[in-house]
Chain A
Amino acid sequence: MTSSEPPPLVALRGRQRIAPFALVRVGDTAAAAEAALAGAVPMGGGVDLVDRMKFGERIERLMPLSGLALGGVEATEGGLRIGATTTYAALAESAEAARLAPAFARLVGGVANPRIRMKGTVGGSVMSQKPNFDVWPALMALGADLVFADGDGEARLPAAALAPDERRLLLAVEVPAGADARFAFDRSLRPIVSVFAGREAATGALRLAVGCAHQRPLLLRLAAGETDVAAAAAAALPPPKSDGLASSTYRRRMVGVLAARLARILPGPDAAS
């Protein structure tokens, strides 16, 4: 380029480069489960993955899950089973979800925007384990299970027990019957803090899942009959992060405030059945 030429306009386009990767194509869920264990990275909607790759994360082998029979929302004996590749939009519009988990469906129908909701999947949202994403902490508060491919079968894990280095393919999530009636959330301070609350049917204990405040969302449990939920939640919380958005002190206090509000509107243990 000579000095008389104008500078290339491309600098205005904000293009991030994605490092090369190999595409892994699989024909069925069993092959996908095996490939995932062997290090292929599953891709649901790719919303989170593409973003991470543009910010420099290197992925050697990428495995799209589209085309596999991993989507769908169905009523089961235990509650509601949501396939891992179900998009937010499909879940929010599902008649089964509206019937069996209306509060959770309302949450999912209100995150991000319609364009993202038509691409992002429930499985991708959970497995990204990002602190600001809503589905995983919501599932923790609901007492939901994650269903992974495991050998020839399935393995169930409470949502809160998901390990940071989980490599198995997520097949579905399962919301227990009745849990949604004792579930509420407050995202009004997102992305500073978000709180998802669920009342345990048998014990009346309060499950509080806290998003945005730590490296990963986390779950607190307050015994039934706790009279000062705000103080108890704030005291039980591991040190929240401080960043340009808010201090650790503010986050801790707000978790307490939101938790107390949610506890007031959740039905008590008597209304559980």
Chain B
Amino acid sequence: MTLTVSFTINGAPVSTAVHPETVLADVIRDEFQLVGCKVGCDQAVCGACTVLVDRIPMAACSTFAFEAEGRDIVTIEGLARPDGTLSAVQRAFLDVQGFQCGFCTGGLILLVTALLERDPDPDRATITDWLGSAVCRCTGYLAIIEAVETAARLNREVAA
């Protein structure tokens, strides 16, 4: 049995045939070749596969493709402007080197994007609570926390 699911991905409306048991990560990676969505633990724990679904961060490895019907999906490939200008969160991660191997970085940047959309000036406790949604085996998280605070500042500077 297959079903057709329609949604937007990085702004583009798409329709695709999926099996009920297909997970969103497989569609994103295999159908749309958006391989910035990494599958790590495959159990909704590590956060490497995080994408934004209607601006909510979700583990694409553990979300069925049919759940995407009518929704707006953003992957890491969709964050920069078409002219290549990086988002504030992407710039902040680059500026403070909030990554090492990079496997978790796409998911983390989307997660932090969602955090700052909800809370433009999060305190440390809020930041660490949110970073509990992602596992980074390289940095020890301090550089990531700095990246979040830097992104919040960049956003404020743009707004000012």
Contacts and interface: CB of A to CB of B under 8 A. Distances in A.
Interface stretch (B77-85, B92-100, B129-137, B139-147): B129-137
Interface in A103-142: 112-116, 118-119
B57 A118 contact: yes
Contacts of B20: 20-23, 62
A14 B129 contact: no
B21 A113 contact: no
Contacts of A13: 39, 42
A160 B62 CA distance: 30
Contact of A113 (B39, B62, B67, B133): B133
B47 A115 contact: yes
A28 to B, nearest CB: 18
A76 B66 CA distance: 35
B154 interface: no
A50 interface: yes
Interface residues of A, number: 26
A51 B130 CA distance: 22
Contact of B133 (A16, A22, A46, A115): A115
A42 to B, nearest CB: 14
B1 A22 contact: yes
A19 B21 contact: yes
A99 interface: no
B17 interface: no
Nearest to B22: A18
A190 interface: no
B43 A119 contact: no
- 9 closest A-B pairs by beta carbon, nearest first, are A115-B133, A113-B132, A113-B133, A18-B21, A50-B62, A23-B20, A14-B42, A115-B57, A13-B39
Given A23-B3, A50-B63, 14 more contacts: A15-B39, A19-B21, A20-B1, A23-B20, A47-B62, A51-B62, A54-B42, A54-B62, A62-B20, A113-B130, A114-B130, A114-B133, A115-B111, A119-B56
Interface of B: 1, 3, 19-21, 23, 39-44, 47, 50, 56-59, 62-64, 66-67, 111, 115, 129-130, 132-133
